[in-house]
Amino acid sequence: QSEGFRWPAEWESHRATWLAWPHNPETWPGHLAAAEAAFVEMVRALAPGELVRVNVADAALEARVRGLVGREAARRVECFAFPTDDAWVRDHGPVFVTRGRERAVLDFRFDAWGGKYPPWDRDDAVPRQVAEALGLPRFAADFVLEGGSVDGDGQGTVLTTESCLLHPNRGPGRDREVMERRLADFLGARRVVWLAGAVEGDATVGDVYDLTRFVAPGVVFPVVEHDDREALHGASLENLQRLRGARDAQGKPLTVIELPMPPPVRAGKDRLPASYANFYLANGVALVPVFDVPSDERALAILAEGLPGRRVVPIPARDLVFGLGAVHCLPQQEPEASDTHVRPPA
């Protein structure tokens, strides 16, 4: 248990963003170079506002990373020799919590989304390695939880999905009561809002970052699929209803701002998990996946209006989703510790 530590919201001040450089050709068959190019765009957008800490296998990959991102961005890049099985730090990496000026790492078990993509032992070791490298306390959980399966407002409200958190392939005995208690113990959840469904093609079976995101206390951006021929249509309307009826940990209703879904992005006949909710909030910027489709412009405009004071940076993600993930699946934020607790709005 996390002993009074708080899980800061993603929009709170970051010390760094963690990434694992893409290297597995099986994840991006025929698209690894394009995935690297998207990573370069992400690093260049992040570096002016915070450190970018990158897990690499060896010195050769570090040199490649520094060469690709360019001299200016490389000044803000720190590489760590933590080999990974894959690049999805959001799900396998450390979850950082704070208590005043103290910081700590939560280390949840990782099993590659129910054992789908062996091996995963190097990914599962990353939170411990990060805690040791930074000299931070580590709270180890005895259950599986992917970082992308939860989203929080920093004030005790957690969004998650039934399809992911309650799936039996993550371990036995995962009912709502058990998981809400675990979320309370480790993430300080005082109110859990359960959502349904999964974006088609999502190998995680419903990580919440493709469905709905907090962007401020009490403000959520769900994707809504209005085309009744698409698989997400019913679940997205159900989620919209749940969110409009939900209350946060302070007992207040949520402000719900709809995002569109892009048209299907496919690899052959297979639908890939493209979603505009898969954006990442960092210091001064929002990195937003775009898919080279007309709806990109509308999604960017909605996010620009809903994220005042934050530069909205489009990240080409049509190749990223060949790896069955996009922008938010890849980074994990390392928050700044502060004496000031973020208070709920009056």
Q: Which amino acid is residue 98, in one-letter code?
A: T
- Whole-number Cα distances in Å, 106 to 126, 229, 342: 11, 41, 20
Are the C-beta atoms of residues 314 and 296 closer than 8 Å to each other? yes
Residues annotated catalytic, as ranges: 329
Bridge-partner residues for 107, per DSSP? Answer: 140
Contacts of 139 (CB under 8 A, 6+ apart): 1, 2, 3, 5, 97, 104, 105, 106, 107, 186
Closest residue by Cα to residue 83 from 139, 16, 148, 129: 129
Look at residue 83 and give its three-state secondary structure.
Answer: coil
The CB density around residue 224, as the number of other CB atoms within 10 Å, is: 17
Look at residue 172 and give its three-state secondary structure.
Answer: coil
Are the C-beta atoms of residues 46 and 282 closer than 8 Å to each other? yes
